[in-house]
Copies of this chain bind each other. A is one copy, B any other.
């Protein structure tokens, strides 16, 4: 018995679908169609239907998709019908911003810990958190069973931090440092580097 392997490019679109559906839900909308979603998101209706059909039959011919139901289904598929604790490493500007960011609430995540190795920052308060010493990071993360971390340290420290996080049992890393990380295949990494995004667009500015 084998589980069908879902292409990661499909998985990557689900959160975008979900975001749009939750937006509609807030507008008190009841149903939508692949066509409406397609227009909002700038992709084809066929692609949306095909993507969703990988996981089940969520629509009704002639009517479309029940928004509330599809939101519930997608949250379950993405395993965010629970709250994941996140450890943030680096208490600089980026660490500050993510620690105080309200946007994780209701989207499946919660910052639980923030670490730094700078003695002048350790013990200080950021939002509701006290910055803890990176030296204790491995033990704390392991103890707490935290599986997701964000790296917000300089490029020169990011690989070291990643190595430690992997040792601590972290399985997913959101990396803000401008460097490609080397991690074992079972650990997932996503990158946020604003300069990379900007450079990509600059190409088209001619």
Within 116-156 of A, Cβ neighbours of B (below 8 Å) are at 147-148, 150, 155
Residue in B79, B103, B178 whose CB lies within 8 Å of A203: B79
Task: Indicate the member of A97, A148, A190, A193 with the most B CB atoms within 10 Å.
Answer: A97
A23 to B158, CA, bound (A): 13
Contact status A174-B197, CB under 8 Å: yes
A150 to B113, CA, bound (A): 28
Q: Which residues of B contact A148 (CB under 8 A)?
A: 198, 201-202, 205
Residue in B15, B178, B192, B203 whose CB lies within 8 Å of A199: B15
Within 18-38 of A, Cβ neighbours of B (below 8 Å) are at 18-20, 23
List 30 interface pairs A-B (beta carbons < 8 Å), by A numbering: A14-B200, A14-B203, A15-B193, A15-B199, A19-B178, A19-B179, A19-B196, A42-B180, A78-B202, A79-B202, A84-B202, A93-B101, A94-B101, A96-B97, A97-B97, A103-B178, A103-B195, A104-B194, A107-B195, A107-B199, A148-B201, A148-B205, A150-B194, A172-B202, A174-B198, A174-B201, A188-B201, A190-B198, A190-B200, A192-B197
Instruction: In the A-B complex, list the 8 residue pairs whose CB atoms are closest, starting with the nearest.
Output: A172-B201, A15-B199, A190-B197, A97-B97, A107-B195, A15-B196, A93-B97, A188-B201
